A and B are shown apart, each in its own frame.
Chain A
Amino acid sequence: MINGLDFLWNKIKLGDEKAFNSLITELFPCLCNFAQRILNNLSESEETVEDVFIHLWQNKERINLKGSIKSYLYQSVHNLAINKLEHFKTLKFQPNITTSQEEWKQIHHTFITDDAFIQMFEANETENIILRAMEELPEKCREIFHLSRFENLSNKEISDQLNLSQNTVRVQIFRAITFLKDFLNNTSRKKTHSL
């Protein structure tokens, strides 16, 4: 299936600068949004996406896509963001990753951003569904998940703040994610994709 973006990609491969600019204009916002959710820092995210586009242009002759251009770009942004995360000073609670660095990278890179994921990620309703699901979480569970995901607190910091054991914090976060996952699957079952 060839869509508009893949058509642009074919022109880019031939050195069409206008097509390249159109691709950037089209995809820059959603790729930034994606990078932001990994890096939690807007300017770092924008820089990451810029670097991905620069790499794309410089290697346009060599790149042979298996899937769509969009999923290639998402995967590139994902991988580059992960590499940055590694050096990120603000990631205060990622302990000195030295010996296990390879494994750590490996775990991160197992993730594949295929078209199904992108479609779900970009759908406006996904965000609404997640917000709705969060409202249904038990209060403590929601509070803990909120602190973890949105306030960027580590398990330790949450357990200190709420006076709970770290294990309770972990169990509650896991419960929240499982609940969101099931909720999203049930809501979108009729639509094609499930996780």
Chain B
Amino acid sequence: MQEDFIIPEEISQLIVDFLNGSLQEEEIKKLSRWIAESKEHEKQFNAFKAIWLMSGKSIETSAENSEIALGKINQKLGNNNIRQLQPFWRFWRIAASWLIFFVIGGVASGLFMNQPAQVKINPEILTKITAPLGSISVVDLPDGTKVWLNAGSKITYNDSYGKLKREVQLTGEAYFDVITNKHMPFIVETSDIMVKALGTKFNVKAYPDEKTITATLEEGKIEVLSLLTPDSKEPIILKPSEMVTYYKQDKMSMISDKKTTKEKPVKETDKDDKLEMIPNIKTELVTSWKDETWIIESEPLGKLAPVLERRFNMEITFESDEIMNYKFNGRIQNETIEQILTAIELSAPIQYRFEKNRIILSANKMRKERYDQFTN
């Protein structure tokens, strides 16, 4: 093997484009010609491809999925007498798992796409409610509990809700006004934490693309538990105006966030549970998204942008990182995105422009100099 084989820069760029699917049509021929040139080229190319495949995200297919697949394969091969091998009940079990999910009031696909491993065999009816991007939905649950769903968020619950238990699953952000029922706690489950309440008002924010999950209490009492915490551990109990932040830490983000996780304000002793309690929160800053007047206070633009993206269903791109740190205060009522952007433009050396469906924010150099004079 030629260890020192050097790949010309032009080719190396084509390989990268090929691997991440950005290869332009006219370049396909060029790369294919290079690979065909010699055995060594082919070998080099295959080595890069192998690394690319090996470094991908690995997915565990559960034994249950294997069994479902086994059933499906044999079912499709129905012409062969292979079916006789299948015990009768297995067919029903498999059929049940595919048929008996009713999905009401939302997008039907996608619910199980990400987590097929969690498809339960026992039949139950799931209700799924999604607030589309760009709007907030208000939902009344069967027991009278009221839920405000922020843009792009969804909750699901099954048909035993309100009968045996009160459990909902949340992706995204929601504000709950829970009807009191001392015998049946109300439980919100997110990807990493669980919030338990008897009768209260609280906000949970658990967007999959954000690094933290937060639960904020406005009234009453809630208990917060990380799903990874062992049973023996006591949950964190929140009093009004307190907030709990959970730091997500999957394998990959641990690597890319190495620096930030080191700096996060969790004490060394708390390393195992990644829950952090913050007292004296102005809860209206957390919950006002659901109201007519949405209040923001010293919110850095970098954090504000994703909120605006969801609320207005627009994509926001930063042309320079420094402007992400400018902080903003304000009250937003029925303003349009243009009005908000104009306000941002007026109060900081930032300019915006639209490109297709995107908003591009960039630094306004001329005004920055004047701005710096004022602030210093």
Q: Which A residues fall within an 8 A CB radius of B?
A: 17-18, 20-21, 24-25, 28-29, 32-34, 36-38, 40-43, 45-46, 49-50, 53-54, 57-58, 91, 93-100, 103-104, 106-107, 110-112, 117, 120-121, 126-127, 130-131, 134-135, 139, 142-143, 146, 148-150, 152-156, 160-161, 163, 167, 170-171, 173-174, 177, 180-181, 184, 194-195
Contacts and interface: CB of A to CB of B under 8 A. Distances in A.
Contacts of A117: 50
Given A18-B85, A95-B25, A121-B53, A46 B252 contact: no
A17 B82 contact: yes
Instruction: Tell me the dominant secondary structure on chain A's binding face.
Output: helix
Given A32-B65, A155-B22, 8 more contacts: A28-B69, A33-B61, A127-B54, A148-B20, A163-B318, A163-B319, A173-B19, A173-B20
Nearest to A52: B73
Nearest to A123: B54
Nearest to B31: A107
B228 interface: no
A117 B85 CA distance: 35
Given A24-B70, A43-B116, A57-B77, A110 B42 contact: yes
Interface residues of B, number: 66
B349 to A, nearest CB: 17
A20 B73 CA distance: 11
B35 A131 contact: no
Given A29-B60, A170-B13, A195-B47, A110 B35 contact: yes
Interface stretch (B145-153, B254-262, B304-312): B254-262
Contact of B66 (A25, A58, A161): A25
Contact of A33 (B1, B31, B55, B58): B58
A134 B25 CA distance: 31
A19 B197 CA distance: 52
Contacts of B69: 24, 28, 46, 49-50
B66 A24 contact: yes
A99 B29 CA distance: 10
A193 B50 CA distance: 13
Interface in B250-278: 251-252, 255-256, 258-259
